[in-house]
Amino acid sequence: MKEIEVIHIKEDVELNNPVLIVGLPGVGHVGKLVAEHLVEELEAEKLLEIYSHHFPPQVLVDENSEIQLVNNEMFVCHTEKHDIIALIGDHQSSSTEGHYKLCTLYLDLAMEFGVKRIYTLGGFPTGQLTHTDEVLGAVNNIELIDELKEYGVNFKENEPGGGIVGASGLLLGLCKFKKIDAACLMGLTSGYLVDPKSAQSLLKVICKVFDIDIDVGPLEERAKEMEKIVARLKEVEQQQKGMPEMSTAKDEDLRYIG
């Protein structure tokens, strides 16, 4: 197997003003949930599969006990305004070198398809279990900010403070060398759990950007199930806050003994 193997499923595709959306696994799986939902709801066609030894050494097992080598895939979703090329997958690279090589490949493929704009999707960790219906943005061209604000994207000074790690950030940087406008859109999420509620917030913005109407029912059902888990976690958190600090209790005991 080559270092990176690209298997084309559909050749000679005619595309209408294509835009690339990148939704790979990340914080809260927010971007992954949105991109996969678009692929399903818009009845996308698979363009290609990407295999690489930069992905974890792993296979996935389906309900029939059949294995599938982990990979990334590109699909095309046809809409009136744009054809959306969606990059989804099982994993991001497990190494720094792999991130650069794979992101360079994603960008080369995007250029072959004639992509002029790229949106990377992800989650912005807040550390709070309470949901905030907000999407933050970062761009590689400041002229994109006013446009994205009209779609409900918020921009905050020096946020994200620690930068954007992985494909969602790296692609924005590499796009500058190719003179391709790119933006990272991030739904606010706790960072602890898969977050379909944050994915709903991000999906609303995507629907405005592409002027499409998408059924959010499946995401709503997953969000309801996740809310039950979050409620239980909050309950446990409150119980722990009501308990005495173990270190304090020990200190007091030691002082008494001494």
What is the pLDDT, as a whole number, of residue 250?
41
Read off the pLDDT band of 243 (50, 70, 90): low
Q: Copy the structure tokens of residue 212.
A: 């499409």
Which among 38, 5, 6 is positioned nearest to 22, based on CA atoms?
Answer: 38
Q: What percent of the chain has pLDDT over 90?
A: 75
Contacts of 97 (CB under 8 A, 6+ apart): 54
- Residue keyed to tokens 């400041």: 142
Distance CA 171, CA 94 (A): 16
What is the mean predicted confidence (pLDDT) over 37-50? 96
Residue corresponding to tokens 């678009």: 38
In the chain, the amino acid numbered 61 is V
Rounded Cα distance between 113 and 132, Å, is: 36
Q: Is the model more confident about 131 or about 231? A: 131
Angle in degrees, 0-180, between the axes of helices 30-41 and 217-241, rounded to the nearest 10: 160
**Which DSSP string corresponds to 183-216?**
EEEEEEE-SSS--HHHHHHHHHHHHHHHT-----
The pLDDT tens digits of the residues spanning 58-85 come to 999 999 999 999 999 999 999 999 999 9
- Reply yes or no on whether the pLDDT at 252 is more than 50: no
What average pLDDT does this structure show over 145-159?
96
Residue range 107-120: average pLDDT? 97
Q: Looking at residue 77, what is its pLDDT?
A: 95
Find, among 73, 74, 77, 13, the residue nearest to 42 by Cα: 77
Sheet strands (E) in the chain: 4-8, 19-22, 45-52, 59-61, 67-69, 72-78, 83-89, 117-125, 135-139, 181-189
Q: Compute CA distances 14 → 6, 10, 11, 76, whole Å.
A: 19, 11, 9, 10
**What pTM, to 2 d.p., does this model score?**
0.87
Backbone angles phi, psi at 42, to 5 degrees: -95, 10
Domains of the chain: 4-215 (3.40.50.10900)
